[in-house]
Chain A
Amino acid sequence: MSNKLSSSVPTDREVVLGILNNSEDALNRLYIGYFPMVLQFILNNNGDEDDAKDVYQEAIIVLYNKIRSGDFELSSKLKTYIYSVCRRIWLKKLTQQSKKTNNLSDLEDVVAVEVDLEQHEEKELQFEKMGSALVSLGEPCKTIIQDFYIHNLSMQDICEKFGYTNTDNVKTQKYKCLQRLKKLFFQS
């Protein structure tokens, strides 16, 4: 029963509530529910399944950020929204690859998503900056920062994980790492 439920496309309301509650199940169902649509769209417009995956995941992130930002107001069906975002993203990618973008064959209705995507692009930029900054930060700083700030480990946990003698050392280390990371992040 639950299996059957999870395989079906969730209702829009379920998705929004699920995302707000950080429900992994909701995400899974959302993801599985609309992937075929996007896959078909991309395949029919000079793309392959990897393109579809990238575009689709980006669209889900856009949706996530939009819902998480609090002022989420769905003016169309979720399906239409996701399709429109994917379409927009794919159009842009095609332009970047200077492939022909005219007469994109549409399979669904389209709503205007430009504003959402502009915001998304800013965030995407920051995401990439942060990613590259973390990469150039190197180990063990990267792991310490991630553990502390992303995985929310306590100083004590990190201390034990990395074998520091006391938490002050960890604090100092973390501080140094953070300064470097900040420098990398703001410089780039």
Chain B
Amino acid sequence: MRNDIELETIIEDYLQGKLTAEEAKAFEQLRLNDPVIDHRVVAHKVFLESLAQYGRVISLKQQMDHAHAGIDVAGLTEKMRPHPSFIVNLWRKNKSAVAIAASFLLLTIFSIYSIQHNTKQNGTYEVMRREITTIKNNQNKLVRTLNSTGPKVPKGLASSAKFGGTGFALTANGYLCTNYHVVRDADSVYVQNSKGESFKAKVAYRDVQYDIAILKIIDDSFTPLANPPYKLKKNSIGMGENVYTLGYPKDDVVLGEGYVSSKTGHGGDTTQYQVSIPINPGNSGGPLLDDQGNIIGLITAKENQVEGAAFAVKSKYILEALNAIPSDSLGKKAVFSKKNPLQGLSRTRQIDKIGKYVYMINVYN
């Protein structure tokens, strides 16, 4: 018993390194020689370690309990408890995912915004382009939409003119030339001369392809004119030729002046000229005359937003249209005499003479 206590003390001192070097050496020798003692050393070591660990854990738990006491567990529990609301649970469990999604969304919105910001300018370009394409695709028919009331309302007509255009006399007996698109869908057509006299007319001939229509005045009050002073030019005309037109973009006749800028019309259309001339809705169907007072074309259309690009059907096609009408109904064929009475006259004099052969055309439908 006594020895056992001594031995235990020595073992403990040995394990705790309290023995002197010599004592330790002697003890290790003893361990080697005596397996029983060696076993006791190992067992004691394990035991002491367990005990120490036990002690540490106990003290750790005490510390943690102390720390735990400082936490408002009840409050936290209330806050952390699984929320009855599905949304809140979803939010709690997927906070990070939601955060990522949100930032992604933000980024997307920002990107889209900046892209849109860019396309604002691009859009302007596109709009411009689209407008250009529109110009390419659509010739702006120069039909004037008329206001409901005005002096041009012909007698006996309660309703107002829907469209207006210009036309010019081809023969003395009341054949007029204008654009087909002026009288398209027309229920009735009235023409009005520069004096303000209005006559009923009918469409005698239509040429959709060349956009030409020939009207015949059928009004009883119409008195035949003198032969038109101008002549239709059969040959085509050179670029740069000075030209002018008379038309009714308003209720009085208006002069437009310009030059032939191209021998082909819209999209390379060889049946037309391109003319640099200021024209407006209402000018459609007006005569295009050169310096000598020859009719070289029929004002038809212009390009949107392109300055000085109007189109006129070449006079050759007016002649073709005229030929389609039985010659006897055209009356005297002296219309286009070889001698042009306007030749050599000043512009003012020419216009003075031509003016009464240019009619405003009112279309009702």
A72 at the binding interface (Cβ < 8 Å): no
B53 at the binding interface (Cβ < 8 Å): yes
Q: Which of B76-84, B131-139, B170-178, B246-254 contacts A (4 or more CB under 8 A)?
A: B76-84
State whether A150 touches B55 (Cβ < 8 A).
yes
Encoded as 1 (CB less than 8 Å from any A CB) or 0, chain B from 34 to 48 comes to 000000000110011
**A172-B48 contact, Cβ under 8 Å, with A39-B80, A49-B77, A60-B64:** no
A57-B54 Cα distance, complex, nearest whole Å:
15
**A43-B77 contact, Cβ under 8 Å, with A28-B70, A107-B92, A149-B52:** yes
Q: Which of B3-11, B114-122, B300-308 contacts A (4 or more CB under 8 A)?
A: B3-11
Pick the contact of A32 from B55, B67, B80 — CB < 8 Å? B67
B60 at the binding interface (Cβ < 8 Å): yes
Q: Which chain B residues numbered 227 to 272 have a C-beta less than 8 Å away from chain A?
A: none
Q: How many residues of B contact A (CB 8 A)?
A: 37
State whether B51 touches A150 (Cβ < 8 A).
yes
Pick the contact of A39 from B5, B43, B53, B76 — CB < 8 Å? B76
**A127-B57 contact, Cβ under 8 Å, with A31-B67, A40-B80, A43-B80:** yes
Min CB distance A132 to B, Å, is 11
> Nearest residue in A to B73 (C-beta to C-beta)?
A49
A32-B71 Cα distance, complex, nearest whole Å:
7
**A31-B64 contact, Cβ under 8 Å, with A43-B77, A105-B93:** yes
A145 at the binding interface (Cβ < 8 Å): yes
A150-B73 Cα distance, complex, nearest whole Å:
31
Contacts of B48 in A (CB 8 A): 149
A24-B55 Cα distance, complex, nearest whole Å:
16
Q: How large is the interface on A (under 10, 10 to 19, 20 to 34, 35 or more residues)?
A: 35 or more
Min CB distance B327 to A, Å, is 99
State whether B54 touches A35 (Cβ < 8 A).
no
State whether B61 touches A57 (Cβ < 8 A).
yes
Q: Which chain A residues numbered 138 to 183 have a C-beta less than 8 Å away from chain B?
A: 145-146, 149-151, 171-172, 175, 178, 182
B63 at the binding interface (Cβ < 8 Å): yes
State whether B47 touches A182 (Cβ < 8 A).
yes
B334 at the binding interface (Cβ < 8 Å): no
Contacts of A150 in B (CB 8 A): 51-52, 54-55, 58-59
Q: Is the interface of A mostly helix, strand, loop or mixed?
A: helix
B25 at the binding interface (Cβ < 8 Å): no
Contacts of B67 in A (CB 8 A): 27-28, 31-32
A145-B55 Cα distance, complex, nearest whole Å:
11
State whether B76 touches A36 (Cβ < 8 A).
yes
A141-B137 Cα distance, complex, nearest whole Å:
110
State whether B55 touches A107 (Cβ < 8 A).
no
Pick the contact of B68 from A53, A134, A175 — CB < 8 Å? A53
Contacts of A57 in B (CB 8 A): 61, 64, 68
State whether A172 touches B5 (Cβ < 8 A).
yes
State whether B50 touches A185 (Cβ < 8 A).
yes
Pick the contact of A175 from B8, B43, B53, B81 — CB < 8 Å? B8
Encoded as 1 (CB less than 8 Å from any B CB) or 0, chain A from 4 to 32 comes to 00000000000000000000100110011
State whether A182 touches B77 (Cβ < 8 A).
no
Contacts of B80 in A (CB 8 A): 36, 39-40, 43-44
State whether A27 touches B9 (Cβ < 8 A).
no
Pick the contact of B53 from A35, A123, A178 — CB < 8 Å? A123
Min CB distance B171 to A, Å, is 97
Contacts of B57 in A (CB 8 A): 61, 127
State whether B55 touches A43 (Cβ < 8 A).
no
State whether A64 touches B70 (Cβ < 8 A).
no
State whether B82 touches A107 (Cβ < 8 A).
no
A126 at the binding interface (Cβ < 8 Å): yes
A89 at the binding interface (Cβ < 8 Å): no
**A31-B5 contact, Cβ under 8 Å, with A43-B82, A130-B54:** no
Encoded as 1 (CB less than 8 Å from any A CB) or 0, chain B from 1 to 36 comes to 000110011000000000000000000000000000
> Nearest residue in A to B63 (C-beta to C-beta)?
A27
A149-B67 Cα distance, complex, nearest whole Å:
25
A123-B174 Cα distance, complex, nearest whole Å:
123
Pull 6 A–B residue pairs with CB atoms less than 8 Å apart, ordered by A.
A39-B73, A48-B77, A57-B64, A64-B56, A126-B54, A185-B50
A residues at B contact (CB < 8 Å): 24, 27-28, 31-32, 35-36, 39-40, 43-44, 48-49, 53, 57, 60-61, 64, 105-107, 123, 126-127, 129-131, 134, 145-146, 149-151, 171-172, 175, 178, 182, 185-186
B residues at A contact (CB < 8 Å): 4-5, 8-9, 43-44, 47-48, 50-61, 63-64, 66-68, 70-71, 73-74, 76-77, 80-82, 89, 92-93
